[in-house]
Amino acid sequence: MSITIEANCPECDAPVQPARRPLAGEILRCTQCSVELEVTSTEPFRLELAPEVEEDWGE
């Protein structure tokens, strides 16, 4: 049985379906409103607004 992984965007409520099996901590983008979302849990699949970029972030 295939299950659909889906949650709603906390910003615009659009359904968000990851293209592949999500990982905790992964960043996804809402296709509707473009906001950055972070996967905070995979079972159950949960999304939160990704934190704002901080001063010490980078590459």
Q: Which residues bind other proteins (CB under 8 A)?
A: 23-27, 38, 50-51, 54-59
How many residues bind Zn ion, per CB under 5 A? 7
CA atoms 7, 13, 15, 19: torsion sign? negative
Q: Does residue number 26 form part of the binding site for Zn ion (CB under 5 A)?
A: no
Q: Does residue number 11 form part of the binding site for Zn ion (CB under 5 A)?
A: yes
CB of 28 closer than 8 Å to CB of 21? no
Among 4, 5, 6, 12, which Cα is nearest to 49's? 12
> Please, which residue, 9 or 39, has the CB nearer to other proteins?
39
Q: Which does 11 bind (CB under 5 to 8 A by kind): Zn ion, other proteins, none?
A: Zn ion
